Structure 1
Amino acid sequence: MKTNLYRLIMVILCVAGIFFTGQSVQAQELTVSIPPEATITGQYFTLGDIARFNGDDNERIDRLRQIRLGHTPQPGQSYVLAGDILMARMRAARVDLSGITWQLPPQLKVTALAQSISGQELVKQAKQYLEACLTGEVMITSVGQPRDILVPPGEIAFTMALPYGIRYNAPTNVSIGVQVAGRSFSTAMLRFDVKKYQQVAIASRVLNANEPITAESIIFERRDIGRLTPGYFTKLDKILGLPVKRQLAPGIVITETMLGQIVLIRRGQPVTITAKNGGIEVMVSGIALQDGSKGEFIRVKNSNSKKVIRGQVIDDTTVRANI
């Protein structure tokens, strides 16, 4: 009796073992679950970016993961896809979707990940760039405050340029390009008021017409050069000895248009007249009939032929004639 009972128990256990073993080796079905909201990055997103997969067929899951579902919205922005649109896009990928249990929301909200670059940071980067381009005493002030910008996640780099150069009498534009992970993302244009200060030559007293500039008649003062008429001087040796064309009041900034040239040759002065004819240079004596500064054309008379010609003042004794 006991032996028969033992045999019955063993048969039952064997049958149960076969049943449960068969259940454990049965292939698990593939389930794809998509949540109602997802955050993504990159240029586009795939099923693998938003879904959870439950199943043993890794090869098939890998193919499903690569199904492209759409372009990523701008950083920090979102859009909504209906569930039927999702399925339509997956079917369009021509991947086998049979035998899959889908857990889909009525709609999917897709939001692009983002990081913020503040307007203050843009101003800081552009200002540092300007400071590296400038020398001397300068003051740089931002004109307005740029808006913060949102960019994708990744390492940020900036590229700068001055499309119109540096201006001291008008706003200076700085073009700042934003790169994320080595790719160009956006460009902003920032404006700055750039002031540069230099020591410039100023009349220290009344200067009369034709009076030559001396070290005592000039002082140097700090001025905003953006407010000055072009042609100012920052070095005394550039103007020392030059005559003023008209009377100048004390405190006036000296410019090129106010000054004449030093007279090198005086009327009645003996000069050497030079001329080239082909490869031969001829030199004869002459008399200056006009005062002349370097580079000016004056009338001179050939001492031998008495002929009057025009020539260019080369130095304090030489006039070059064109023949």
Structure 2
Amino acid sequence: MVILCVAGIFFTGQSVRAQELTVGIPKEATITGQYFTLGDIASINGDDTERIDSLRQIRLGHTPQPGQSYVLAGDILMARVRAAHVDLTGITWQMPKQLKVTALAQSISGQQLVKQAKQYLKASATGEVMITSAGQPQDILVPPGEIVFNMALPYGIRYNAPTSISVGVQVAGRPFTTAILRFDIKKYQQVAIASRALNANEPITADNIIFERRDIGRLVPGYFTELDKILGLPVKRQLAPGIVITENMLGQTVLIRRGQPVTVTAKNGSIEVMVSGIALQDGSKGEFIRVKNINSQKVISGQVIDDTTVRANI
């Protein structure tokens, strides 16, 4: 009986010692992720793997911003451990008076951000462009992990004002931050220029127009890049040589001349009537001119449809 008791004491003692754990927490630790656990900062030794796993999962706090640090007092650490409601019996603690926690980080330079944005802008713009960064963005610190850039142009590309581009930074598959960069973008095109002085009502020809390379962001809207779109159109007023030709400087080609025979059409419901007439005015497409009906000798107003047709309003 005595032997059995002694043996029981001996083996019970062995069992208690087998359950003992040692937890060592350093004075400083580097971490990553959204929050850190006891397992992230401490060395936990012992034979009870189940208890060790439970201890390792105890959450101690949020991770600071990448590259930044904060300090936790030892008693606060211990209070957070106890708040986890895990079995803490038989644990030897090696606890410092305070723990400095620093978040791991990697740097993305402002130059790298500009490079990524420029590549996106070049792919988005068409034709000959010159892209210049409007300032140098600051370097940013992000957590460790694979970096992916997501670009967007919230207001599109502008050639007469700074263009804003949104650079979203994704780390390890998760959005981290967004940087807004601005660029000056110049686009160059060959535009129609008066090669000499043009008189009012003089038509555009291949001889009095040349094409020159210009920064279109500095031009008034309505410039032309193709001769076919303005060939034969009259200028409304006298133009100086070297001026950029725009829409508001040009009239329409005269399709019908005064005294020209025309067909006058009129429609009443499903019935369309056509009569012969004489134009009393010059007219371009879409303009309203006076026309005399040859049969009735009445003067009516009609809209120029083409070079032989006027549609009357009835």
Q: Which among 285, 288, 292 is matched to residue 294 of structure 1?
A: 285
Determine whether 1:256 maps to 2:247. Answer: yes
- RMSD value, Cα: 1.8
How is 1:120-135 mapped onto 2 (pairs within 5 angstroms)? 120-135=111-126
Q: Deviation at 1:27?
A: 1.8
How is 1:216-255 mapped onto 2 (pairs within 5 angstroms)? 216-255=207-246
Q: Summarize deviations over 1:111-170 as a string: whole Å, max 9, x none.
A: 111100000000000000010012221111101000000001010001111111111111
Distance 2:89 2:286 in 1: 94
Q: Which among 155, 173, 182 is matched to residue 164 of structure 2?
A: 173
Q: Are the counterparts in 1 of residues 194 and 243 from structure 2 also a CA contact under 8 Å?
A: yes
**Segments of 4+ moved more than 4 angstroms:** 20-26
The one-letter code matched in structure 2 to 1:71 is H
Matched length: 305
The one-letter code matched in structure 1 to 2:290 is R
Determine whether 1:101 maps to 2:92. Answer: yes
Distance 1:165 1:86 in 2: 51
Q: Which among 271, 276, 282 is matched to residue 262 of structure 2?
A: 271
Q: Deviation at 1:90?
A: 1.2
Q: Which among 46, 49, 57 is matched to residue 48 of structure 2?
A: 57
Q: Are the counterparts in 1 of residues 255 and 283 from structure 2 also a CA contact under 8 Å?
A: yes
Q: Summarize deviations over 1:240-266 as a string: whole Å, max 9, x none.
A: 100011111111111111111110011
Q: Deviation at 1:289?
A: 2.2
- Quote the residue 1:85 is aligned against: 76
State TM-score, norm by structure 1: 0.90
Distance 2:262 2:117 in 1: 59
Q: Are the counterparts in 1 of residues 19 and 90 from structure 2 also a CA contact under 8 Å?
A: no
Q: Which ranges in structure 1 are unaligned for 5 or more consecutive residues? A: 1-19
- Quote the residue 1:137 is aligned against: 128
SS at match of 1:195: strand
Q: Deviation at 1:322?
A: 3.1
Distance 1:237 1:293 in 2: 18
Q: Summarize deviations over 1:11-56 as a string: whole Å, max 9, x none.
A: xxxxxxxxx9998775252111111111111111111111101110
The one-letter code matched in structure 1 to 2:61 is G
Q: Summarize deviations over 1:176-230 as a string: whole Å, max 9, x none.
A: 1000111111111111111111111111111100000110001111111111111
Q: Deviation at 1:231?
A: 0.7
Q: Which ranges in structure 2 are unaligned for 5 or more consecutive residues? A: 1-9
Q: Deviation at 1:312?
A: 1.6
SS at match of 2:207: helix
State TM-score, norm by structure 2: 0.93
- Quote the residue 2:59 is aligned against: 68
Which has the higher mean CA deviation after the structures are superposed, 152-161 or 87-96? 87-96
